[in-house]
């Protein structure tokens, strides 16, 4: 093959390869921009006041999931923008609502939210897209022939304007907060405060106060640390006491002892009622004693109490005198108690009486005579 002919063949092959690459790249680009191009789709449209740069081929999402793409963007006669887009049939069932009814409610009077189209963005500086909210499942599927309701809530520009407003408000607040810093009087106050602070720190460093000792004297620091340790120990003890008290109250509440019965049972109620009745009776008794004219009243409030005390005092003095006489051995009882010889004589006398038959017979005779005399004194009751 001659050289010119070979070059023509290579040129044709190169042209063919370039054209094939261009066609393949174009197809790849087109196919990449088409979401689910082999699935069945439903056509929808919505009318916006401002689409913010939305164009054909941009993505359509439902609940953040890409489900279709924008077909066309065109102006209407009234100056608004009408956008046509296609959504896969599987996701179209999520677009719900009643056209012309924004306040549909359920049986309980709650508003059922219908789907709405919102102009969104992929990131802060990304391409524009359409976000569609999911409608209430109790509403019917949206009629594709009707324009889909729109909302401006997701507009990036509105969001940026809101953020800018917030930033401006923050700047204004900072300005108001920093304006006093330029006041000469404020600067003088700051210098005076710094001067006083320097004097205070100098006094702390060279003085003899508690703070200086706390910073330089180890013993003072140890005392403070010991005090804090005691406070912690006391706090721990209080916590243990509180836990014990809580355990006791829980045991009283759940247990079946006397305390539980008195607090939660019928017996406690009866005991309180008995105590109340006893208190009432005691109060009534004390009132009767205070206002009555009985013996107890006389003993407490009248002169009879003084007389009784005087009599008891005299009787105790008499008993003390008699006891002294007996202890001294005076009189018959004193002799019997204190003189052993009298005890021996009485003992011998009783023994002689037991051994003397005549005396025993005399005693028995006296007893029988007394018994017969007692029977004679009894008067028999006559029968009717």
Give the pLDDT confidence of 229-282 residue by residue, as tens digits. 899 889 888 988 988 888 888 877 777 777 777 777 777 777 778 888 888 888
Tell me whether residue 2 is in a domain.
yes
SS3 348: helix
Which residue, 162, 194, 219, sits at the end of a domain?
162
Q: Listing from the earlier edge strand, what are the strands of the sheet with 41-48?
A: 41-48, 81-88, 65-75, 59-62, 128-132, 117-121, 150-151
Clarify whether residues 124 and 57 are in a common domain. Answer: yes
SS3 215: helix
Clarify whether residues 311 and 344 are in a common domain. Answer: yes
Nearest CA-CA partner of 85 in 106, 99, 68, 100: 68
Tell me whether residue 127 is in a domain.
yes
Question: Model-level pTM?
Answer: 0.35
Both tokens assigned to 196:
């006083």
Query: How would residue 38 be classed by pLDDT, with cut points 50, 70 and 90?
Result: low
Rounded (10°) CA dihedral 7, 13, 14, 18: 160
Provide Rg for the chain, Cα atoms. Answer: 60
Domain hosting 130: range is 39-162
Containing 108, the helix (H) or strand (E) segment is none
Under 8 Å between Cβ of 139 and 173: no
Tell me whether residue 273 is in a domain.
no
Q: Residues 274-320: pLDDT tens digits?
A: 888 888 888 888 887 777 777 777 677 766 667 777 788 888 888 88
Tell me whether residue 184 is in a domain.
no
Given this model, what pLDDT does residue 168 score? 76
326 or 44, which is more confident?
44
Give all strands (DSSP E) within 142-217, no chain letters. 150-151
Both tokens assigned to 261:
């019965």
Both tokens assigned to 102:
């924004």
Domain count along the chain: 3
Burial class (CB in 10 A: 0-12, 13-18, 19+), 58: buried
Residue 383 clears pLDDT 60, i.e. is over it: no
Tell me whether residue 246 is in a domain.
no
Tell me whether residue 197 is in a domain.
no
69 or 107, which is more confident?
69
Clarify whether residues 10 and 67 are in a common domain. Answer: no
204 or 45, which is more confident?
45
Clarify whether residues 98 and 143 are in a common domain. Answer: yes
Residue 60 clears pLDDT 80, i.e. is over it: yes
Q: Which residues contact 264 (CB under 8 A, 6 or more apart)?
A: 253
Query: How would residue 384 be classed by pLDDT, with cut points 50, 70 and 90?
Result: very low
Under 8 Å between Cβ of 262 and 271: yes
Clarify whether residues 82 and 129 are in a common domain. Answer: yes
Given this model, what pLDDT does residue 72 score? 93
Clarify whether residues 6 and 55 are in a common domain. Answer: no
Q: pLDDT > 70: what percent of the chain? A: 81
Clarify whether residues 60 and 3 are in a common domain. Answer: no
Which residue, 162, 184, 208, sits at the end of a domain?
162
Rounded to an integer, the average pLDDT of 343-358 is 72
Which residue, 143, 162, 181, sits at the end of a domain?
162
Both tokens assigned to 259:
């305390």
Strands 128-132 and 59-62: parallel
Tell me whether residue 237 is in a domain.
no
Q: Residues 192-227: pLDDT tens digits?
A: 888 788 777 776 666 666 666 666 677 777 888 888
Q: Which residue has the tokens 């003397």?
A: 356
Number of CB atoms found within 10 A of residue 81's CB: 17
Number of CB atoms found within 10 A of residue 67's CB: 24
Tell me whether residue 97 is in a domain.
yes
């Amino acid at each position: 093959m001659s050289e010119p002919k070979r070059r023509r063949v290579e040129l044709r092959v190169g042209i063919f390869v370039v054209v094939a690459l261009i066609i393949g790249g174009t197809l790849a680009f087109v196919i990449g921009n088409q979401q689910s191009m082999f699935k069945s789709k439903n056509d929808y449209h919505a009318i916006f006041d401002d689409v913010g740069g939305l164009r054909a081929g941009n993505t359509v999402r439902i609940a953040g999931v890409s489900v279709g793409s924008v077909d066309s963007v065109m102006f209407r006669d009234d100056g608004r923008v009408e956008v046509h887009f296609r959504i896969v049939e599987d996701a179209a069932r999520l677009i719900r609502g009643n056209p012309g009814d924004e306040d549909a409610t359920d049986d309980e009077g709650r508003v059922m939210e219908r789907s709405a189209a919102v102009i969104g963005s992929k990131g802060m500086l990304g391409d524009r897209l359409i976000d569609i909210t999911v409608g209430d499942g109790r509403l019917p599927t949206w009629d594709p022939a009707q324009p889909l309701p729109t909302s401006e809530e997701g507009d990036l520009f509105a969001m940026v304007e809101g953020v800018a407003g917030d930033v401006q408000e923050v700047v204004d607040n900072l300005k108001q907060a920093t304006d006093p810093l330029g006041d000469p009087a404020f600067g003088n106050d700051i210098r005076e405060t710094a001067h006083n602070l320097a004097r205070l720190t100098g006094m702390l460093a060279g003085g003899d106060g508690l703070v200086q000792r706390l910073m330089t004297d180890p013993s003072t620091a140890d005392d403070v640390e010991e005090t804090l340790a005691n406070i912690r120990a006391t706090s721990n003890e209080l916590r243990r006491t509180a836990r014990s008290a809580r355990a006791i109250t829980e045991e009283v509440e759940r247990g079946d002892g006397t305390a539980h019965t008195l607090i939660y049972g019928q017996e406690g109620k009866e005991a309180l009622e008995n105590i109340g009745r006893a208190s009432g009776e005691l109060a009534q008794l004390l009132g009767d004693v205070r206002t009555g004219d009985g013996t107890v009243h006389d003993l407490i409030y009248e002169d009879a109490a003084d007389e009784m005390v005087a009599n008891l005092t005299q009787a105790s003095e008499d008993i003390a005198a008699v006891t002294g006489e007996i202890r001294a051995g005076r009189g018959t009882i004193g002799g019997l108690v204190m003189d052993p010889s009298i005890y021996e004589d009485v003992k011998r006398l009783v023994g002689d009486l037991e051994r003397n038959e005549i005396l025993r017979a005399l005693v028995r005779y006296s007893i029988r005579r007394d018994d017969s005399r007692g029977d004679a004194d009894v008067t028999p009751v006559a029968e009717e």
